[in-house]
Structure 1
Amino acid sequence: QAKVVFPSEELSVGEDLKLKIQLINVGKEPVLLSRIENLLPANFQMVSMPEGFEFNNLRLTIMGKQIEPLKTEEIILTLRSFKSGSFEFRPKIVCVDEAGEELIFNVEPATYTVSDAILSGRIRTGYKDLDNLLMGGLPEEYSVVLASPSNDERSLLIKRFLETGIKNGETTFYITTEVGPVRGLVEEFQSNFYLFVCNPRADVMIKSLPNVYKIKGVDNLTDIDISLIKAFRNLDRSNTGSKRACIEIVSDVLLQHRAVITRKWLSGLLPDLKSRGFTTLAIVNPQMHPTEEVYAILGLFDGEIRITEKDTSRGLEKVLRVRKLYNQRYIESELIVTRQKIED
């Protein structure tokens, strides 16, 4: 007989779950535990297990563990989930009797609920799984850099970050070289969405609107600063709600001006945005620059999120991880990201 036992209290995303599997040999002969299959639901990961165990591909292999007749064996595992919801556990126990025959026991399914991890003073990114890693979202008034090659997942994260702020009525700044998917938003939400297009062709890319600022590229950083000052002056001072900014031009500036000038510009811009109540998400493509220049920029930010590619059993996948979040709690687990997951 086998039984899954959960802790009595409900846990949140990122907290350790102590899972007990109780095994009772009700037969008259000893049996050798071989393995436990289908052990974890999707989105759970193994944190720790007893010595003599090996975990791979949802299978827990047990080395030389024998259960005598009418004796009980308890296996305690530490698990962690980076997704909220109700999850069903239905492990399968495989034993070997004295004749060498395999005995398979299906454990009665058991359900456990994991709640969202939400700390106060966070703003949501628009991607729930990332918000769970961040324990509710980006800390308010923090500057966080997303280091990622150019890919669909990065573009979708930016879009969700902007849409979440805009549609929640938050003052939202977007500094970019391309208009892309926000053309409709900038026309619909003129009272709280401000677009800064840094492109010599800005005049033909988007029509003139009160909330659109056109800058002739990133050659003259002072022009960008002046446009931001104009936008700051146009803000409704009675609106004391959350504000967010997305700076998508960091790599463009770094290519044009190199590390020293880019650091100087960001060293002025990031504190200025913070002092005005903005939470900032900046974007940099680390593959476009020498490593030392990338690190010269990353050190300016309160937090860092990184998307990389990783070779897994399912092939090459994109992995997201929170690398740092100064003086704040976050979950250090990796997150497999796909377009479908972000869009959902």
Structure 2
Amino acid sequence: MQRYSESFDETFSIALDRALQGVLGRAANVTSFYVDPGISAKSPDVYVELLKKIFSPELVNALVESIGLELSRSFGFQFQRDVNWKLSEYVSYARQPLQLRLEPASGNTLAAGSETELKITLVNRTVGEMLVKNCDLQLSSETFLVEPNKPSYDLEGLKLQPGEAHVMKARIRGTQIGQGRVSVRATIIDLRGRSKVIEAPCVLSIVERGGRLSTGSPIADGLLLGGLPRRSAVLLNSPACDEKDSLVQGFCAIAPGATVYVSSDVERSTQLHRLYPELRIVVCSPQADLLPTTEFIQVSRTLRNISEIDDLLTHALETIHDESPRVLIQLISDILLLQKEVATRHWLADLLPRLRARNCTVVAELNPRMHGTQEVNALFDLFDGRMEIVEHEETGQPVRFLRVTSLRGHKYLPHQALLTSPADGSGIEASRTVPSIPLSPEFQFPEGERRLAAIMFTDMVGYTKLTQSNERLALKLLERHNQIIRPILPQYRGREIKAMGDSLMVEFESALDATSCAIEIQHALHDYNVSARDEWRIILRIGVHLGDVVHSDGDVLGDAVNVASRIQPLADPEGVCISQQVYDQVRNKLTNTFTRLERRDLKNVQYLVDIYKIVLPWERPSSST
């Protein structure tokens, strides 16, 4: 069966040239002089508006209709040709002749050991009959297909009439805690007998059996693998900032009728009461009388009487009938300043066990900038976990990240997630080194120690050129790149050594971990790119090598680092290349096939290196080992 040999942009460009030549003849050359053809597929409607400045509306309508006809011929599917359509609609249908949707019945959170139904919908978007074959589910190791083994239909394929929708169902089970990836992939056959693969991805958070309570923040829930463990008390270490206020509001908004908000901030309490009238509020402030009088608001005019605060909190909890109440305490810094370290510790040591006994889940906020290190550290062991909002300065503007540093007895992602960035990104050097926060004590190694490690290098294709033409877009792409890739690294015990603009250097304890992580990164980016606009696509090359390294001042040095950095450029876009040393360790442990490349003489490497290419599912192998 023949496949499409050109990329979408190449096929579209050919169709566009044919349409222009057919309608305009020699005048077609005028368009390429005044209008860049490169924007036709990326911004089709902008392209048409530019054409209207050159040609009459009637001629432009004829062009759009002709382009639709050529798209039908080039892509092998029949599209409705209507002069009232926008060119972007033709492009959308040409990209995805088959609309493919994957919808988990239980949403994107699944308890480990439990099952959920997947609804797979196929819709023929063309005006001709469509043949669909080989509709398969692809699942990562965190999930298991219960039934069926494969979405079933006639072996000769499924014929979809124009506009027809076909629904299939499957069941999966969450097998291990983490971020599971599920995608459905269908092969369609065009009128010229060529195959085209359509894919729809889905990411699931596999959480502990019994579930966790959502924080109201997708970023925090992702790091916590679904949310806060029930009956836990977690300390949020954060300076005063908008991002912290958003986390607090999200926590109150997710279940206001089951939440008690304890604070000394009258203005903030008033705002939350207006937004969520059912929220139970306890305010301790001399200005507490300014709050409206309702059954859900309890007030005290002082912070000195800790027992009164406890009584008000107890009374507020008695009005909640939910079996899992939630408590947000936002006055610990005030009490610590007023009552000092010993009294505050005694208060929390008495309060938190009583709240756990009432089946409460607690988040307590502390501003570390208001206290000494000793005061802050004295409270840590009273809590089951700790989250932090940390800041890095970028040209004088703070960029804030959220990270979970501990969660007693429960799994979490030991990684930092971006909460915000400067408003426009202007002035930030694209080649800057991004600060890397140590993920966990288990990743720290003695200074000067020589050890065997796998080194992975990644690099974004075309990034340097993009920074020269559109720096703002380049910086936004880099931010999206980091958001997708960095949460994957700790899942394979990867330690980010440094970031050099659009490149990452990561160390792993085993070749299998490094290779599996590289494959997972390319899977995640491929899933992202399927639905992303062309200018927002992120294409990486990845190289992996195994050898001796030396740890020095937080960096990793050695010949293995140099070899890995030289292997990375040999990979195809969206590809992974590995050395012979890595191949020997993983060849019988992965389901992927490998293609051996020619032995290479790498720069600054004194010996020839055997290189292997990993064949990924969306690639067609040439010769495999």
Which TM-score tier does this pair reach, normalised by the shorter chain? 0.5 to 0.7
Q: Deviations over 1:240-290 (max 9, x none)?
A: 532100000000000001110000000111111111111000000011101
Residue correspondence of structure 1 range 13-92 to structure 2 within 5 A: none
Residue in structure 1 matched with residue 192 of structure 2 by the alignment: none
Measure, in 1, the Cα distance between the counterparts of 2:297 and 2:404.
32
1:157 aligns with 2:241: no
More helix by share: 2
C-alpha distance 321-160 of structure 1, shift in aligned 2 (>3 A)? same
More strand by share: 1
C-alpha distance 311-203 of structure 1, shift in aligned 2 (>3 A)? closer
**8 Å contact from structure 1 (residues 194, 212) kept in 2:** yes
Deviation at 1:231, TM superposition (A): 2.9
1:333 aligns with 2:333: no
Residue in structure 1 matched with residue 365 of structure 2 by the alignment: 283
Residue in structure 2 matched with residue 115 of structure 1 by the alignment: 204
Task: Report the aligned-residue RMSD.
Answer: 3.3
Say which of 303, 309, 316 aligns to 1:224.
Answer: 309
Residue correspondence of structure 1 range 312-331 to structure 2 within 5 A: 316-331=398-413
Residue in structure 2 matched with residue 203 of structure 1 by the alignment: 289
1:214 aligns with 2:312: no
Residue correspondence of structure 1 range 174-213 to structure 2 within 5 A: 174-183=261-270, 186=273, 193-204=279-290, 206-213=291-298
1:328 is paired with a residue whose SS is coil
C-alpha distance 11-152 of structure 1, shift in aligned 2 (>3 A)? farther
- TM-score for both structures, normalised by structure 2: 0.35
Deviation at 1:230, TM superposition (A): 2.9
Say which of 265, 271, 275 aligns to 2:353.
Answer: 271
Residue in structure 1 matched with residue 140 of structure 2 by the alignment: 10
Say which of 338, 341, 345 aligns to 1:256.
Answer: 338
Measure, in 2, the Cα distance between the counterparts of 1:253 and 1:305.
20
Q: Which moved more, 1:296-305 or 1:313-322?
A: 313-322
C-alpha distance 85-313 of structure 1, shift in aligned 2 (>3 A)? farther
Measure, in 2, the Cα distance between the counterparts of 1:280 and 1:149.
19
Unmatched 5+ stretches in structure 2: 6-136, 144-177, 184-196, 424-478, 480-625
Structure 1: 4+ residue segments shifted above 2 A: 7-13, 81-86, 108-121, 179-190, 228-232, 310-316, 338-341
Q: Which structure is richer in relative contact order (CA contacts within 8 A, separation 6 or more)?
A: 1
C-alpha distance 314-223 of structure 1, shift in aligned 2 (>3 A)? closer
**8 Å contact from structure 1 (residues 11, 114) kept in 2:** no
Deviation at 1:186, TM superposition (A): 3.4
Measure, in 2, the Cα distance between the counterparts of 1:330 and 1:313.
32
- TM-score for both structures, normalised by structure 1: 0.62
**8 Å contact from structure 2 (residues 333, 370) kept in 1:** yes
Measure, in 2, the Cα distance between the counterparts of 1:155 and 1:84.
31
Deviation at 1:188, TM superposition (A): 7.6
Unmatched 5+ stretches in structure 1: 2-6, 14-80, 87-107
C-alpha distance 11-335 of structure 1, shift in aligned 2 (>3 A)? farther
Residue in structure 1 matched with residue 165 of structure 2 by the alignment: none
**8 Å contact from structure 1 (residues 118, 132) kept in 2:** no
Q: Deviations over 1:65-87 (max 9, x none)?
A: xxxxxxxxxxxxxxxx989898x
Counterpart AA for 1:302: D
Deviation at 1:180, TM superposition (A): 3.6
Larger Rg: 2
Counterpart AA for 2:217: Y
1:235 aligns with 2:319: yes
Measure, in 2, the Cα distance between the counterparts of 1:188 and 1:320.
25
**8 Å contact from structure 2 (residues 181, 201) kept in 1:** no
